[in-house]
């Protein structure tokens, strides 16, 4: 599933192609995604100018003067901008939605597994039920080690499960949780309530570092979103522990171990993480 850096990479690639363009039509070929595509989506979007392409957590926010299209890519979704209203590349079986633009281009949503979704809201997007209960962005002032420390008191769940909760902080998926805990030197199975304030401060900084580096790496390898596949691609990542079972730890040389924590595979170094 695309993580926060991949979604941010997608946002950065699409923003200059969509912002300032007027929607001239919407074609919905398959409305049955994770949640049904709103039946009035075409009526809501047609004639509206896209004022901004934003992001909240793993959701893309396509803003217009009268409302916002909230889009989630799910596990296999992708977006691409095609010339000629998409007529030069006829839609395939998994091309579910086309948004036609005044410059003749077409924003096409493709999703083989149909786990993604499109929603429309005329209210501020932060009030939408998908976004209303989300925690802070990892780069926002509301996210800090002190906040994590206060929220974790009395929590028996593992610290890895804790920092992956979207109500605690958004965007820390499985890869980035493992990598952040390694940088902070914290064992992923340790109970969240048994981690001290100073270690949470190190963890908050590690989360920002890991995600920031991933976004920066994605920003240097952006694909052309008018290309045939439309995918931004997963940037080349330098991972210290994730997926490296049995390999030497880059810090101490010990062997990286794999363990299942909170129903997710987790990688860590038993020598560096306590």
Q: What is the predicted pLDDT for the residue at 210?
A: 94
**Residues in binding site:** 94, 113, 155
Annotation says 6 is catalytic: no
Between CA 172 and CA 165 the distance in angstroms is: 8
Alpha carbon 57 to its chain's center: 6
Q: Is the pLDDT reported for residue 189 higher than 90?
A: yes
Strand partners, 97: 28, 109
pLDDT in tens, 214-232: 888 876 555 555 554 555 5
pLDDT on residue 231: 56
Whether 8 is catalytic is: no
Residues in the chain: 274
pLDDT of residue 156: 96
Considering only residues 145 and 7, tell me which one the structure prediction assigns the higher pLDDT: 145
List beta partners, residue 82: 106
**Per-residue pLDDT at 28 exceeds 60:** yes
Which residue in 11, 58, 80, 199 is the catalytic one? 58
* Per-residue pLDDT at 170: 96
CATH topology of domain 145-268: Helicase, Ruva Protein; domain 3 (1.10.8)
pLDDT, mean of residues 118-128:
97
CATH number of 4-127, picked from 3.60.60.10, 3.40.50.300, 3.20.190.10, 3.40.120.10: 3.20.190.10
pTM: 0.90
E strands within the chain?
A: 23-28, 52-56, 59-64, 67-72, 78-82, 95-101, 106-110, 117-121, 257-261, 264-268
- Examine the residue annotation and report whether 264 is marked as an active-site residue of this protein: yes
Residue (of 30, 28, 66, 71) closest to 45 by Cα position: 66
Known active-site residue 165? no
Least trusted range by pLDDT, from 80-84, 116-120, 127-131: 80-84
Task: Provide the 10 A C-beta neighbour count for residue 172.
Answer: 27
Question: Using one digit for the tens of pLDDT, what is the confidence trace for 235-271?
Answer: 556 789 999 999 999 999 999 999 999 889 999 999 9
Q: CA-CA distance, 147 to 131, in Å (whole number)? A: 20
Per-domain residue ranges of the chain: 4-127, 145-268
Sign of the torsion angle spanned by Cα atoms 30, 50, 1, 141: negative
pLDDT of residue 108: 95
Of the candidates 73, 62, 55, which has an alpha carbon nearest to the alpha carbon of residue 101?
62
* Residue ranges of the binding site for DNA: 94, 113, 155
Give residue 76's pLDDT: 87
The predicted model gives 194-214 an average pLDDT of 96
Work out the pLDDT band at 75, boundaries 50, 70, 90. Answer: confident
Quote the pLDDT of residue 221: 58
């Amino acid at each position: 599933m695309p993580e926060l850096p991949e979604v941010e990479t997608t946002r950065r690639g699409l923003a200059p192609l969509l912002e300032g363009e007027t929607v001239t039509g919407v074609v919905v070929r398959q409305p049955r995604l994770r949640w049904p595509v709103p039946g009035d989506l075409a009526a809501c979007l047609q004639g509206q100018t896209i004022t901004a392409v934003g992001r909240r957590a793993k959701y893309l926010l396509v803003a217009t003067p009268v409302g916002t299209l909230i889009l989630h890519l799910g596990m296999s979704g992708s977006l691409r901008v095609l010339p000629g209203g998409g007529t030069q590349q006829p839609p395939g079986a998994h091309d579910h939605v086309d948004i036609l633009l005044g410059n003749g281009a077409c924003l096409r949503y493709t999703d083989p597994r149909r786990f993604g979704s499109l929603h429309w809201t005329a209210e501020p997007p932060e009030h939408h039920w998908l976004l209303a209960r989300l925690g802070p962005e990892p780069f926002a002032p509301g996210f800090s080690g002190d906040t994590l420390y206060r929220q974790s008191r009395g929590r028996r769940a593992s610290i890895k499960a804790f920092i992956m909760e979207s109500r605690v902080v958004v965007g820390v998926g499985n890869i980035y949780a493992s990598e952040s805990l390694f940088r902070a030197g914290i064992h992923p199975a340790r109970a969240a309530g048994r981690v001290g304030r100073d270690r949470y401060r190190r963890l908050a900084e590690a989360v920002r570092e890991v995600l920031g580096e991933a976004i920066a790496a994605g920003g240097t390898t952006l694909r052309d979103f008018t290309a045939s596949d439309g995918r931004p691609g997963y940037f080349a990542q330098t991972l210290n522990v994730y997926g490296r079972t049995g390999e030497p730890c880059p810090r101490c040389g010990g062997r990286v171990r794999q363990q299942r924590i909170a129903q997710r595979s987790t990688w860590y170094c038993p020598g560096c993480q306590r």
